[in-house]
Amino acid sequence: MPWFRKEKTVSIKETKIQMPDGLWIKCDHCKEIIYKREIERNLNICPKCNYHFRISARERLTLIIDPDSFEEWDAHLRPLDPLRFVDSKAYPERIKAAKKATGMEDALLSGQATIGGHPVSICVLEFYFLGGSMASVVGEKITRAIERSIKRRWPLITISCSGGARMQEGVLSLMQMANTSAALARLARVGQPFISILTDPTTGGVTASFAMLGDIIISEPKALIGFAGPRVIEQTIRQELPPGFQRAEFLLEHGFVDMIVDRKRMREVLIKLLEFFAPEKERAVSL
Residues 2-60: pLDDT tens digits?
A: 555 555 554 544 444 454 567 899 998 899 999 999 999 999 999 999 999 999 999 99
All domains of the chain in start order, with CATH: 23-53 (no CATH), 54-286 (3.90.226.10)
221 touches 52 (CB < 8 A)? yes
**Residue 71 DSSP one-character state:** E
Instruction: Identify each DSSP E strand in 73-193 by its residue range.
Output: 108-115, 118-125, 156-162
State the sign of the Cα–Cα–Cα–Cα dihedral 28, 30, 32, 34.
negative
- The helix (H) or strand (E) run that includes residue 99 is helix 91-102
224 touches 161 (CB < 8 A)? no
What was the pLDDT predicted at 93? 97
Least confident of 10-19, 190-199, 236-245: 10-19
Q: Give Cβ neighbours of residue 190 (< 8 Å, ≥ 6 apart).
A: 150, 153
**Residue 65 DSSP one-character state:** S
pLDDT band at 282 (very low <50, low <70, confident <90, very high): low
Please name which of 194, 195, 198 lies closest in space to residue 162, comparing C-alpha atoms: 198
Tens digits of residue pLDDT in 244-278: 999 999 999 999 999 999 999 999 999 999 999 98
Instruction: Name residue 200's amino acid.
Output: D
Per DSSP, the three-state class of 265 is helix
194 touches 186 (CB < 8 A)? no
* Distance in angstroms (rounded) separating the CA atoms of residues 134 and 124: 12
What residues pair up with 109 in beta bridges, in sequence order? 124
Q: Is the pTM of this model over 0.85?
A: yes
What was the pLDDT predicted at 247? 95
Tens digits of residue pLDDT in 115-147: 999 999 999 999 999 999 999 999 999 999 999
Please name which of 228, 139, 229, 146 lies closest in space to residue 193, comparing C-alpha atoms: 146
The mean pLDDT value for 95-99 works out to 97
* Distance in angstroms (rounded) separating the CA atoms of residues 108 and 122: 10
* Distance in angstroms (rounded) separating the CA atoms of residues 77 and 75: 6
* Distance in angstroms (rounded) separating the CA atoms of residues 118 and 196: 17
CA gyration radius for the chain? 23
Per DSSP, the three-state class of 286 is helix
**Residue 45 DSSP one-character state:** B
- The helix (H) or strand (E) run that includes residue 259 is strand 259-260
Alpha helices, H only, 204-287: 204-207, 230-237, 248-253, 266-277, 280-286
142 touches 157 (CB < 8 A)? no
